[in-house]
């Protein structure tokens, strides 16, 4: 007879959430984030329902950015620079990648201005890792 260990793994140390709570949690995450694949697919259709903002410096933008992105550094996200966009515009922001918090800063600024925003997780590095190319045009 084999004795079963009563020690739990790090995975099961905390029990999983109730499925309805888990759904609410992940619904919430998806209200704040999108990923490179979804952005790429929307851009490829030719009619994205958002404005993609590269919130890095103009120098970084010139070296390479996601095709179709608009460069507006997070420090310059003020209402006067957003006047051309209707209030209901959804902005998707990105920066370099997971080691950069520029997208978070940009998203926070947009939300503070009452603008709709999501962050493209992974940023430029995630975009490249997913096999998508950048442009410098």
Give the whole-angstrom CA distance, residue 100 versus residue 1. Answer: 53
Angle at 82 between CA 66 and CA 94, to 5 degrees: 30
Distances (CA, A) of 15 to 23, 25, 88, 113: 16, 15, 40, 39
Task: For residue 102, give the nearest of 130, 135, 71, 136 by alpha carbon.
Answer: 71
Q: Is 36 one of the catalytic residues?
A: no
Catalytic one of 36, 60, 95, 100: 95
Count of other CB atoms within 10 angstroms of residue 60: 18
- Residues identified as active-site: 95
């Amino acid at each position: 007879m084999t004795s079963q260990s009563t020690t739990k793994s790090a995975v099961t140390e905390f029990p999983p959430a109730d499925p309805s709570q888990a759904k609410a949690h992940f619904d919430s995450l998806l209200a704040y984030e999108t990923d490179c694949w979804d952005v790429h697919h929307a851009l490829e259709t030719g009619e994205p329902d958002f404005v993609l903002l590269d919130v890095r410096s103009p120098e970084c933008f010139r070296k390479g950015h996601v095709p179709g992105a608009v460069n507006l550094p997070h420090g310059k996200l003020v209402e006067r620079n957003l006047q051309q966009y209707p209030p209901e515009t959804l902005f998707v922001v990105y920066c370099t990648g997971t080691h950069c918090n520029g997208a978070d800063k940009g998203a926070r600024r947009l939300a503070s201005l009452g603008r709709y925003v999501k962050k493209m997780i992974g940023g430029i590095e995630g975009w490249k890792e997913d096999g998508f190319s950048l442009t410098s045009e």
